[in-house]
Amino acid sequence: MEAALRAGIALYNAGQYRIAHDAWEHSWIGMSGADERKDFLQGLIQFTVAIHHATVDNAAGARSLAEKAPTYLEGYGDGFAGVDLAPVRSYLGALREDPSVVDRRDPPTLTRHGEAVGLEDLDFDGTLLVADAIAETEDDEELIEQAIEYAQADLEAGDEGSQFVTFLFDYVRQPDARGIICQRLGEHVERRMARDEDVEGLFG
């Protein structure tokens, strides 16, 4: 859950409320009902989606999730897995009272062991989860999925200087440059695919 938890927090802290839950769901879906982390993640998922609803003026949706989320966070005290839950509960209460609070008061920063995790703080695994989540909203999904496959293959082969790894980190950390990053990444993917096809042709 480590990579997924940090990835979701980083997306949330970057203001990506609509897709922050994607990273958490990646971990949540595979958990059994008896796993104590499952309700915790469900509470965080509902928290961030409630904020998203509030930011797009869906007051009913925001209130509904702000009412449900605390029930999933019961029993975790002021924190769990290093995440400070006190500000989460406080903001959920404010959303229940008035979803338009998002226009006057920024949602709280989520911290892990006291650290405000940002996109630049993520390791390779966390970066892949974020890249995949962002790609779905940017119509880059096919390109990013292929880049992830090549990046993982390069690292498994011991290629620590893989351009695919570098581009994926840049894609996540440099939102204003995603257009040119995808253009260059696409060129690298095409060359890699052509090379792979040539190799297959030798042994086909």
User: Do 86 and 78 form a contact (C-beta atoms < 8 A)?
Assistant: yes
pLDDT digits (tens, 9 = 90+) for 80-105: 999 999 999 999 999 999 999 999 99
Per domain, the residue ranges of the chain are: 2-119, 139-203
Percentage of the chain modeled with pLDDT above 90: 79
pTM, two decimal places: 0.90
Q: 159, exposed or middle or buried, with CB in 10 Å at 0-12, 13-18, 19+?
A: middle
Pairing state between β 83-84 and 79-80: antiparallel
pLDDT for position 34: 72
pLDDT for position 183: 96
Which homologous superfamily is 2-119 in? TTHA0068-like (1.10.3450.10)
pLDDT digits (tens, 9 = 90+) for 66-78: 999 999 999 898 8
